[in-house]
């Protein structure tokens, strides 16, 4: 507080000292036709969140939004117009197959059998940009197999944010705990205990989406200022 009794404005949060990673991360936006309008809004919100996470990390990746078009593009052009000022992200109408060597591609999906212990910065990691409320089983996995692309899953979910946090600390548990708030586990645990009273374990595993393996953990309305 200064001599006039005024509280000084809070210090502006400084950006971390960034050392760019060579890693390339793709958000695959080829699922536009499979989603309802509300899900398009949610995906757009998650793209905003991915961009924000990448801008705030000390080891930013090279971020690509591929197969960009249709309703997602329309939403960005009408509701998130500030995206034209975004830095270090590529909006591309082409597929990742047209942009990268297939041998470098790894599609991250919870349905894959191989679990990544350590990220390879020479690889191109793909995340499916879809919010489908669990309607389309094995969608990204089947797509990758059809395209003859390698698949893998991270040992923990909420893919993009945890991926960039891992680049900072090289520790999956630490990255996980920094991104997923403890309250999320508490809420999910209470929810599953309630459901188990009426649903057997097999049905529970099949019908309830895994909170930490979705494209995102929480849905956020996209911000005009990123």
DSSP string, 38-71: HHHHHHHHHHHHHHHHHHHSSS--EEEEES--HH
Domains, the chain, with CATH or none: 24-207 (3.40.1280.30)
Mean pLDDT of 147-164: 78
Which of 68, 128, 71 has the alpha carbon at shortest distance from 98? Answer: 68
Number of H helices, E strands in the chain: 8, 6
Which of 41, 28, 31, 18 has the alpha carbon at shortest distance from 87? Answer: 18
Hunting for tokens 């975004």 — which residue is that? Answer: 86
Q: 3 pLDDT band (50/70/90 cuts)?
A: very low
Active-site residue, selected from the candidate residues 2, 104, 132, 142: 132
Q: 85 pLDDT band (50/70/90 cuts)?
A: very high
Q: 65 pLDDT band (50/70/90 cuts)?
A: very high
Q: What is the pTM of this model?
A: 0.69
- The yes-or-no verdict on residue 213 having pLDDT over 50 is no
Active site residue 132: yes
Mean pLDDT of 178-183: 54
């Amino acid at each position: 507080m200064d001599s006039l009794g005024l509280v000084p404005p809070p210090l502006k949060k400084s950006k971390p000292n960034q050392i760019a990673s060579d890693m390339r991360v793709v958000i695959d936006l080829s699922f536009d036709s499979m989603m309802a309008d509300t899900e398009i809004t949610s995906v757009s919100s998650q793209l905003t969140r991915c961009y924000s996470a990448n801008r705030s990390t000390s080891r930013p990746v090279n971020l690509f939004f591929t197969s960009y078009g249709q309703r997602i593009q329309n939403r960005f052009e009408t509701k998130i117009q500030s995206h034209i000022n975004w830095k270090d992200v590529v909006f591309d109408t082409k597929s990742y197959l047209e942009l990268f060597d297939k041998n470098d591609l790894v599609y991250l999906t919870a349905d894959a059998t191989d679990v990544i212990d350590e990220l390879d910065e020479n690889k191109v990691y793909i995340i499916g940009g879809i919010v489908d409320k669990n309607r389309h089983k094995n969608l990204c996995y089947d797509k990758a197999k059809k395209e003859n692309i390698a698949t893998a899953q991270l040992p923990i979910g909420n893919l993009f944010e945890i991926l960039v946090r891992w680049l900072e600390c090289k520790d999956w548990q630490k990255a996980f705990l920094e991104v997923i708030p403890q309250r999320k586990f508490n809420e999910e645990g209470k929810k599953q205990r309630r459901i188990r009273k009426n649903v057997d374990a097999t049905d529970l595993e099949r019908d309830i989406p895994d909170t930490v393996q979705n494209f995102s953990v929480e849905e956020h309305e996209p911000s005009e200022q990123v």
